[in-house]
Chain A
Amino acid sequence: MRVRIDPERCQGHGRCYDLAPELFGDDDEGYGQVLGDGAVPPALAGKARLAASNCPERAIDLPGDG
Chain B
Amino acid sequence: MPGDERFARDLRGERDERPLGTRSEIVTGPVSDWATDFSHLEPEWATGFYSILAGLRERCPIARTERFGGGWLPTRYEDVAAIAYDTERFSSRSIIMSNFRPPRQIAPAGGSPPISSDPPFHHDARRLLLPAFTKTAASRQEPATRALCHSLIDAFGDRGVVDAASEYAQHIPMRVIARMLGFPPGDGPRFRQFVEATLEGINLPPEERIERMTALFDYLLAQVRDHLDRPRDDLTSYLISAELHGRKLAPEHVTGTMALLLIAGIDTTWSAIGASLWHLARTPSDLERLLADPGLLPTAVEELLRAYAPVTMARLVKEDMHWRGVDMRADDWILLSFPSANRDPSVFDRADEVVIDRQVNRHVAFGLGIHRCLGSHLARMELRVALEVWLERIGSFTLADPSAVTWSAGQIRGPRALPLRIG
Contact = CB atoms under 8 A, between A and B. Distances in A.
Do A and B pair up? The answer is yes
Contacts of A28: 130-131, 134
B258 to A, nearest CB: 20
Contact of A56 (B130, B134, B364, B370): B364
B308 interface: no
A52 B245 CA distance: 36
A6 to B, nearest CB: 13
Given A14-B135, A30-B135, A53 B360 contact: yes
Given A54-B360, A56-B364, A17 B135 contact: yes
Nearest to B368: A56
Contact of A13 (B133, B298, B360, B376): B376
B362 A11 contact: no
What class of interface size applies to chain B in its complex with A?
20 to 34
B362 A53 contact: yes
B134 A26 contact: yes
Interface residues of A, number: 17
A29 B131 contact: yes
A2 B191 CA distance: 47
Contacts of A55: 362
Interface string A28-43: 1110000000000000
A18 B363 CA distance: 15
Q: Chain B CB within 10 Å — which of A14, A26, A58 has the most? A: A14
A53 B134 contact: no
A29 B370 CA distance: 13
Interface string B355-390: 000011111101011101000110000000000000
Sort A-B residue pairs by CB-CB distance and give the 4 closest, nearest first.
Answer: A29-B130, A11-B372, A30-B134, A53-B360
22 contacts: A11-B368, A11-B372, A12-B372, A13-B366, A13-B376, A14-B135, A14-B377, A28-B130, A28-B134, A29-B127, A29-B130, A29-B131, A30-B134, A53-B359, A53-B360, A53-B361, A54-B302, A54-B362, A55-B362, A56-B362, A56-B363, A56-B364
